[in-house]
Structure 1
């Protein structure tokens, strides 16, 4: 059965008012004919890892064979022990590099784009479309929200540098992210205080303000310098992205938001509780099929403070042997593994209509644009989930160091979603073995 026919059948059931009955059909042949959609979440964080704790002990730092790829059974390192229960649901991918990154943190700026920041001489920094937005352009047609961008914190935190999220539109401009649990909830499940009419009025007001903002740009472009035209172009590109979102929101305004029993915990939350609640929200968002593409720029600063460390994440990343900074880095790494295990558990315990789990049909990419200290080559990536095709996890894929583009992974991911693409960012090949089904 084709992907589109699955979508249409599901839509017909919901349109007939039978959506609430779907869980009752989990064991029936009819339910099994409804193939759940593929989903993906990209989770990024800053400042790398302590190599000897994050990578398995049997991994040589040097390449000693002619092959471009080595595949081994995954052996969990000391920092990844929290994933032991889910060892068959995760794989480690090592030695992928943002080839064009020229300075510390540029690997984070281009983590999902793999762009060449120096490609346009009129701009001090140039980016291109991010992998999540390429996927969202196709699969977002079927969902209320084309894609969702989430930030752990606003501002230049955790070494991420530019942008309000990890995601970039087709012009390479960073998309705005959702910064609080309340923002994520309202974007997903609406404001219960607003009627449909009030929601439409609010969207119309936003669209009017957008038109006013864009009104004078054409005349202004005739009298400014080339450099300022580039800046103006960035501004108008951002406006177009917002306009597209408003147009889609208007098209869905009369359709009710999905029902949910999820409630954001009251009271103040520490950083770990905020991240876990965000993962709970993401699970509910995927369960209700609000979107199938999410990027999450996760913060670590609060985690350090919560664990009793006085350093900020930048000081942590400059650790020396046998130092407090190194212990801080190790503790942070272990906490990241624990949080990933929590997300895996939530997705694994949430059932789809055909009896599979959300994890079976979701890909999780969990990584950083920096390997260690401020080194932007040979970064680590953890991949989890079944991706909708029963991918065989529990592997360690190690590629030729310094020369294997990170873009190869994103190109392969794009094609995994059935999108015809020949290249992405710095890619020069596909990673065929990773996306083989069991």
Structure 2
């Protein structure tokens, strides 16, 4: 029997799941008194004391790789993205010098990538940056759960929103050209929000006084839909059952969100001051737009509205409005800069654009570093672990990912180092028109980036020894 989803009550699904997937906002644990925190935590089956031990995760992606002039190139000293040196004895270039004041708060990583996609074109790789899945360059497509959602599944019940998923382009994009970094446990892309005002309203603006009735309606409609599906499932074959189960996974997730929202329906919303925040800004004003997106994540973290956030700053392969972010520093299209490094001043221009991205990420890290921890001791950065990087390095090369790890000192992370597994012979240089670097066999195998992910999850509080079926962590980080 062929799977016919029209056998389900589609109108009831749209009425129920549609409401459930667009729930109004009801508040944040950060503003609850101790009794309210205990009540919400107890209702959710959580330890109230554990719910106040805040550990946050933020992941950020930029496309198009980074400038990597060869050592004999005069541009190497100033405009290379990767520092010069190793361990604690290293020097930032002009591309990276913005991080110098935060030297003891960050670690730069070199020589790491995901083994399953090292010989895939770099513009196809954003999808797997947080999943390590073998998404490939063409043919059948299947992804797996992303790092942020692994942690969100662990800690998401403790906040109003399990995670905040943002991007400059918005939505999901296409397979191998996604606009989102986040994927569910079944590998389904989670749509990213790109409109600052919508993000702000979702987090901090009460939409109506009819929330309880809408929640009850959503729960009833979802129950009816699942009953319909269970009746249909009895008549399906094995393959169709698998397809139906995958389809209904999102419905079950919506059901969980309804149940969770019922715990928060009478909780006051957090109040924030946003005097300088332009919520109507768009990527046509790229610097203010990127700053606003980072600020929204900061506010979400500070009010404990969520403890997990991702922001895909740009889409790979030169499509979408994010390619115009280079206009923040006087250039036209960001992707073109990676192709023009053979031209006079090409490395400097590409490095200047990457320096802009570094500067905005650094501004966000500094903001967290200068904010006392609302839920305990130290600063927000001490309790926030940040991953910033790309899934390609030298001209479409899906190896030696440029990666920065910041924060998390209260979780045991040690910084002020350059963990350089690539060594002095890392691939780089301008494209000479011959086969691109990604098409060649690597001269030196990278370390699996999953080692970094395993250590991150362990220090965030998960008992795990593996990620994406690869075991082992990275001892240099803790």
8 Å contact kept, 1:40–1:294: yes
Question: Is the 1:411–1:423 contact (alpha carbons within 8 Å) kept by the matching residues of 2?
Answer: yes
> Residue in 2 aligned with 1:103?
120
Give 1:232 shift.
4.8
Q: Residues 250, 106 of structure 1: CA spacing in aligned structure 2 closer, same or farther, 3 A cutoff?
A: farther
Cα distance between partner residues in 2 of 1:212 and 1:322: 63
Report the CA distance between 1:73 and its aligned residue.
Answer: 3.0
Match of 1:71 in 2: 87
Alignment check: 8 A CA contact 1:140 1:291 kept: yes
- Cα distance between partner residues in 2 of 1:384 and 1:99: 24
Supply the distance in 2 between the matched residues of 1:174 and 1:9 (Cα, whole angstroms): 29
Which stretch shows the higher mean deviation, 334-343 or 269-278?
Answer: 269-278
Q: CA deviation at 1:377?
A: 1.0
- Which residues of 2 match residues 196-275 of structure 1 at below 5 A? 198-204=210-216, 215=228, 219=232, 226=239, 232-262=244-274, 264-265=277-278, 268=281, 270-275=285-290
Name the TM-score, length of structure 1 as normaliser: 0.79
1:67 corresponds to which residue? Answer: none
SS at match of 2:98: helix
**Considering only aligned residues, what root-mean-square deviation do their CA atoms show, in Å?**
3.4
For the Cα contact (< 8 Å) 1:169–1:175, is it kept in 2? yes
1:94 to 2:110 alignment = yes
CA 1:260 to 1:173, structure 2 compared with 1: closer, same or farther past 3 Å? same
> Which residue of 349, 359, 372 corresponds with 2:394?
372
* 1:20-419 alignment, distance < 5 Å: 37-52=54-69, 53-56=79-82, 58-59=84-85, 71-101=87-117, 102-104=119-121, 105-117=123-135, 124-154=140-170, 161-189=176-204, 191-195=205-209, 198-204=210-216, 215=228, 219=232, 226=239, 232-262=244-274, 264-265=277-278, 268=281, 270-299=285-314, 300-311=322-333, 313-322=334-343, 326-353=347-374, 354=376, 356-389=378-411, 391-399=413-421, 401-419=444-462
Mapped to 1, the partners of 2:162 and 2:144 lie a distance apart of 18
Structure 2 CA distance, aligned partners of 1:333 and 1:209? 48
Distance in 1, matches of 2:102 and 2:195, equals 29
2:203 partner SS: helix
How far apart in 1 are the matches of 2:231 and 2:192? 28
Question: Per the alignment, do residues 203 and 16 of structure 1 end up closer, same or farther by CA in structure 2, a change over 3 Å counting?
Answer: closer
CA distance in 2, matches of 1:136, 1:244: 13
Matched with 1:422 is: 465
Q: Quick check: 1:149–1:178 contact (8 Å CA) kept in 2?
A: yes
Question: In structure 2, what is the Cα distance between the partners aligned to 1:14 and 1:281?
Answer: 28
Compute the TM-score of the two structures, normalised by the length of structure 2.
0.73
Report the counterpart of residue 24 of structure 1 in structure 2: none
Asked if the contact 2:196–2:281 (Cα under 8 Å) also holds between the matched residues in 1, the reply is no
Count of equivalent residues:
394
**Alpha-carbon offset, residue 109 of structure 1:** 0.9
1:210–1:51 Cα change, 3 Å: farther
For 1:328 and 1:14, locate their aligned partners in 2 and report how far apart those are by CA, in whole Å.
Answer: 55
Q: In 2 relative to 1, CA 260–160 (structure 1 residues): closer, same or farther, beyond 3 Å?
A: farther
Kindly provide the CA deviation profile for residues 110-140 of structure 1, in whole angstroms up to 9, marking residues without a partner as x: 111112236xx9x811211111111122222
Does the 8 Å contact 1:408/1:426 carry over to 2?
no
| Shift of residue 51, structure 1, vs aligned partner | 1.7
- When residues 124 and 231 of structure 1 are mapped into structure 2, their CA distance, relative to the original with a 3 A threshold, is farther
CA distance in 2, matches of 1:367, 1:304: 17
Query: C-alpha distance in 1, partners of 2:457/2:154?
Result: 10
CA 1:108/1:212 → structure 2, altered by over 3 Å: closer, same or farther? Answer: farther
Shift of 1:145: 1.5
The CA distance in 2 between the partners of 1:362 and 1:268, in whole Å, is 27
Paired with 1:317 and 1:236, the residues of 2 have a C-alpha distance of: 42
Query: In 2 relative to 1, CA 360–194 (structure 1 residues): closer, same or farther, beyond 3 Å?
Result: same
**CA-CA distance at 1:106 after TM superposition:** 4.0
| CA–CA separation in structure 2 for the residues paired with 1:240 and 1:74 | 49
CA deviation map 1:29-51 (0-9, x unaligned): xxxxx975221101111111112
CA distance in 2, matches of 1:286, 1:305: 29
Query: Contact (CA 8 Å) 1:144, 1:290: kept in 2 or not?
Result: yes
Write the deviation string for residues 130-189 of structure 1: whole angstroms up to 9, x where unpaired: 1111112222232221221112222677x9844452111111111122221122212222
Cα displacement (A) at 1:322: 2.1
State the 1:224 CA deviation.
Answer: 8.3
Structure 1: gaps spanning 5 or more residues: 1-7, 18-33, 60-69
**Cα pair 2:80 2:95 within 8 Å, conserved:** yes
**Contact 1:258 1:288 survives alignment (8 Å):** yes
8 Å contact from structure 1 (residues 262, 284) kept in 2:
no
Q: Give the SS at the match of 2:378.
A: coil
How far off its partner does 1:347 sit? 0.8
Question: SS of 1:41's equivalent?
Answer: strand
- Paired with 1:402 and 1:111, the residues of 2 have a C-alpha distance of 18
